[in-house]
Structure 1
Amino acid sequence: MKKLILVIALTLSSLTFAQNKKTQEMTPEQQAELQTKKMTLDLDLNSNQQKEVKTIFLEQAKKKQALRAEMKAKKESGEKASSDERYKKEIEVLDNQIEMKAKMKKVLSPEQMKKWETKQDERREKIAKSKRKVLNKQE
């Protein structure tokens, strides 16, 4: 169960900008607002893009909140996920990533999209690196 939570958490974090614990305690609306502001600074978004991106981030934040609540309930009940359940969750997370990327392509210019993808790749690398450190410490 811990590995499933780790995989889902790492995958979801690649969908959004790096968040600290304070951000996780915020409402989905607050998270979406912060992510939009950060993205505006990084990519110089215009006002229409800001509105559309905020809508996308709000939807993602609400999905993450629901997933977190579901995972917390399962953990508290001591329920362990079967391999089929883990597979379905991972597929769901990947589908969400694909959907997010498609939506962002509609909103961002080609240059902005390239820069956004580069930043996403950097975040994935950072997460993978920290995951390797954690795994090395456990051994």
Structure 2
Amino acid sequence: MKKLVLIALALITLQATSQERKDRQKMDKKERAERISQYTPEEIAEIQTKQMTLQLDLSEAQQKQIMAINVENAKSRKAIMEKRQKALENKEKKELTKEEKLKMKNDMLDRQIAMKKQMKDILNKEQYEKWEAMAKEKMEKGRHQKKKMMQKK
């Protein structure tokens, strides 16, 4: 009888811990979205441009060109995020369809290709190579984080 009580207690504890972890992950996503939405696209672009200036040693002319690109990209991302939030609020179903996922992925890849072309035109060879390495590192970090989150589920 004692064994059954201990097993039941262990199962209840395990279930509560699992549920708490899922709730925490949802809150992390919401908090991150709220933090990002507090900044204007111009503020986000300014921070990104300054970071790139430090990392790539950009000239004044390059800074102005990259600032324009970053503002455009930040506005685009913010619009996409707001559209996605409204869609989630209006839908009962929270999951995207296969077609929606495909369209989003294609749009993202098109934006990346355009960004790469613009950066190639603005940066010199050394800067461009360093920028590509930074982008690759950032993507790998994102993949690692995503993999980590999937394992937690």
Q: How many residues in Structure 1 have an aligned counterpart in Structure 2?
A: 120
Residue 67 (structure 1) aligned with residue 100 (structure 2): no
Return closer, same or farther for 1:37/1:59 CA change in 2, 3 Å cut-off. Answer: same
Q: For 2:98 and 2:59, locate their aligned partners in 1 and report how far apart those are by CA, in whole Å.
A: 44
2:139 to 121, 124, 128: 124
Q: For 1:76 and 1:101, locate their aligned partners in 2 and report how far apart those are by CA, in whole Å.
A: 34
Q: What TM-score, normalized to structure 2? A: 0.74
Q: For 2:98 and 2:34, locate their aligned partners in 1 and report how far apart those are by CA, in whole Å.
A: 29
Structure 1 residue 73 displacement after superposition = 0.5
Return closer, same or farther for 1:23/1:135 CA change in 2, 3 Å cut-off. Answer: same
Q: Tell me the alpha carbon deviations over residues 42-76 of structure 1, each in whole angstroms, 9 at most, x when there is no partner.
A: 00000000000000000000000110011000100
* Percent identity for Structure 1 against Structure 2: 38
- Give the match for residue 115 of structure 2: 100
What secondary structure sits across from 1:26 in the alignment?
coil
- Give the match for residue 48 of structure 1: 61
Structure 1 residue 123 displacement after superposition = 0.6
Amino acid at match of 2:40: T
Please list every run of at least 4 consecutive aligned residues from structure 1 whose deviation after the TM superposition is greater than 3 angstroms: 19-24
Residue ranges of structure 2 left out of the alignment (5+ in a row): 1-31
1:27 to 40, 65, 75: 40
- Give the match for residue 110 of structure 1: 125
Q: For 2:142 and 2:107, locate their aligned partners in 1 and report how far apart those are by CA, in whole Å.
A: 20
Structure 1 residue 24 displacement after superposition = 4.5
Residue ranges of structure 1 left out of the alignment (5+ in a row): 1-18
Q: What TM-score, normalized to structure 1? A: 0.81
Higher relative contact order (CA 8 A, sep 6+): 1
Q: Which one has a bigger Cα radius of gyration?
A: 2
Structure 1 residue 23 displacement after superposition = 4.6
Q: For 1:125 and 1:117, locate their aligned partners in 2 and report how far apart those are by CA, in whole Å.
A: 12
Q: For 1:21 and 1:119, locate their aligned partners in 2 and report how far apart those are by CA, in whole Å.
A: 26
